[in-house]
Amino acid sequence: MAEAERKNWRELCNAAREANDPDELLKILQELNKALKREEQVRRDFREATRANKSSGEVRFNNYRKTTTRADISNTKQRILMSDI
């Protein structure tokens, strides 16, 4: 089925509800199952991409924070040494 011809799961549920022929109902339910699997895969891919993006952001933030912390420690040491003079 072409991308433009795909029906969403809500449309397929309505079509299944209105179907009178058992063969037509079976065809609609098979299409509904495929639509739900596609939807599930899209959501799974989105969650994984979000997690991967969040993880890489946390790593960058943590690296930045460690660098900043080291610089802060170095500056603090210098201030302490200068104040003792």
- Once rounded to an integer, what is the mean pLDDT over residues 72-81? 67
The predicted model scores a pTM of 0.54
* Residue whose pair of structure tokens reads 């994984």 in the numeric block: 48
Distances (CA, A) of 77 to 14, 65, 81, 85: 71, 18, 6, 13
pLDDT score for 7: 82
* Residue 66 scores a pLDDT above 60: no
The tokens describing 36, both together, are 């739900």
Confidence of residue 1 (pLDDT cuts 50, 70, 90): very low
The angle formed by the CA atoms of residues 31, 32 and 37, to the nearest 5 degrees, is: 100
Q: Tell me how far apart the alpha carbons of residues 26 and 79 are, in angstroms, rounded to a whole number.
A: 78
* Residue 6 scores a pLDDT above 90: no
- Once rounded to an integer, what is the mean pLDDT over residues 11-38? 94
Q: Tell me how far apart the alpha carbons of residues 65 and 56 are, in angstroms, rounded to a whole number.
A: 14
pLDDT score for 71: 63
